[in-house]
Amino acid sequence: MEYYKVHIDEDDSFTAYFEYRKLEKGVKNPMLRKNFPIDILGEEEPRILELVEGEVTDIYYEEREGQMLASEIKEINIIVDQIKEEDVTYLKDLVKRTCVDNEYDSLIAPPTVDQQVEDFIKEFFEDDEEEPLEQKDFLAEFFAELEEDDS
């Protein structure tokens, strides 16, 4: 048996929350939790954005041991409907892919040191409108000046 929980909150936090736990008798498996900004996850999973299109502000689904505990679609704090079965299947699959398979962890991973340095250089030192910097051999210039001074 399994436990699934999904909360797509476009209204307050603009975040998609996922929880998953494998339920086995006599075993306390860990609760796996992930959350993603909706716009970032939506780039990889456009259907997330489709679920909260229009006046829909929240999607909430929770299931334990095959029994639905909650299924609701909200429009500005008013519950308007239950989630369609095809969307429930999609959301349960997405919970497993995010929490168990860690499929989208790269979307929320902090940048590497190399990426941070590259971003810094781009921000402060690269300007497409300016001409590229001239490279000089300062050591050669120094010795040339010394030779001129000696003559």
- Give the pLDDT mean for 106-110: 85
Question: What pLDDT was estimated at residue 113?
Answer: 83
- In this prediction the pTM is 0.72
The tens digit of pLDDT for each residue in 6-40 reads 999 998 899 999 999 999 999 999 999 999 999 99
Please give the C-alpha separations between residue 37 and each of 63, 67, 73, 107, in angstroms, as whole numbers.
23, 28, 19, 9
- The per-residue pLDDT for 127 is 61
* Whether pLDDT at 87 is above 80: yes
Question: What average pLDDT does this structure show over 97-121?
Answer: 87
Distance of alpha carbon 14 from the chain centroid: 11
pLDDT in tens, 113-132: 888 888 888 887 766 566 66
Summarize the confidence of residues 66-92 as an average pLDDT.
92
What pLDDT, in 10s, does the model give residues 32-67? Answer: 999 999 999 999 999 999 999 989 999 999 999 889
Of 2, 3, 5, nearest to 59 (Cα)? Answer: 5
Q: Which residue has the tokens 């704090």?
A: 77
Average pLDDT (98-105) is: 94
In the chain, what are the domain boundaries?
2-108, 113-150
Question: Which residue's structure tokens are 């998953």?
Answer: 20
Per-residue pLDDT at 136 exceeds 80: no
Q: How far is CA 33 from CA 36, 98, 150, in A?
A: 10, 9, 74
